[in-house]
């Protein structure tokens, strides 16, 4: 059995993502859903290397990117725990995610004050 996850990216004249849409019919997401960003990681077991596709639209705000990274890192900690049962390292990732969000939010606030 095969299942599809579809991602469509519309590019502007500068070949930058204008819109990102996805759907997963077998997962119950029939209609295209809009997204402002995508981080896709794939593991090549033969080459023992990670492959990534990182895209975001011009509409993605810095505060949204900060939240996106926080939630992604936090979610990766949950995935890591399920895959390895290593609770200590999973908790370290979650702590890092919280620290990251605090520092990123502080940096954004400081930047906005300077403008």
Nearest-angstrom CA–CA distance, 39 and 29: 19
Quick: pLDDT tens for 42-85. Answer: 999 999 999 999 999 999 999 999 999 999 999 999 999 999 99
What one-character DSSP code corresponds to residue 26?
G
Quick: pLDDT tens for 20-51. Answer: 999 999 999 999 999 999 999 999 999 999 99
Tokens of 44: 């090549």
Judged by DSSP in three states, 7 sits in: strand
pLDDT at 53: 96
pLDDT at 13: 96
- Reference 89, options 100, 76, 72; nearest CA is 76
């Amino acid at each position: 059995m095969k299942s599809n996850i579809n991602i469509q990216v519309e590019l502007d004249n500068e070949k930058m993502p204008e819109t990102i849409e996805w759907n997963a019919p077998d997962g119950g997401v029939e209609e295209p859903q809009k997204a402002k960003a995508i981080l896709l990681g794939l593991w090549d077991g033969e080459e023992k290397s990670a492959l990534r596709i990182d895209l975001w639209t011009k509409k993605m705000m810095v505060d949204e990117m900060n939240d996106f990274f926080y939630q992604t890192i936090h979610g990766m900690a949950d995935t890591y725990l399920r895959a390895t049962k290593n609770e200590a390292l999973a908790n370290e990732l979650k702590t890092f995610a919280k620290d990251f969000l605090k520092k990123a939010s502080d940096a954004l606030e400081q930047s906005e004050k300077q403008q």
